[in-house]
Structure 1
Amino acid sequence: MKDFIGIFLGCFIFCLLAILFLGDLLFTNIWAIIILASFMLAILVKLFINQYSRIDELERKIEQLLQDKQN
C-alpha cells in the first residue's frame, strides 16, 4: 500500500506540474489533448506488453526447470 501511495503522489505532482506549464496549450488546442492522451495510452500499452513478454519468458523457464528436475 505504501508503494501505491508513493506512486500516486508522484503521478499527482507530475500532473500538477504538467498543467502548470502546459495547461494553456492543452485547454486551447484539441490536438494537444489528443496527442497527450495518445502518448499516455501508448506508454501504458507498451508497459503491459513488456510485462506480458517477461511473464511468458519466466513461464517457459519454469517449465524447462520442472522438466529437467523430473528427468
Structure 2
Amino acid sequence: VTDILKIILLSSAEKYNISPLLIANKEDIKDIALGNKDVKALKGWRYKIFGSSALKLIEGSLTLKVKDGSVIIE
C-alpha cells in the first residue's frame, strides 16, 4: 500500500509542480497506510491535491491507470 501511496504522491506533486515533501513525508505515508487520519497530508490544501486520493485508495475506491506514460488517478 505504501508504494502505491508514493506513486499517487509523486503524480500529485508533478501535476501541481511542487515537491512531494511539501505534501507528505515517509511517516505520513506510513500513517495513512495504517489508517491514521490525523496526518497533515489529509488536511487543507494537501487533502485537496493528495489526501482525498490517498483515502480513496485505502477505502478501495481508487483506480490507477497508465496512459501515454503518465499515471491517471480515477
TM-score scaled by structure 1?
0.25
Higher RCO, Cα 8 Å, sep 6+? 2
Structure with the larger helix share: 1
TM-score scaled by structure 2?
0.24
Structure with the larger strand share: 2
Larger radius of gyration: 1
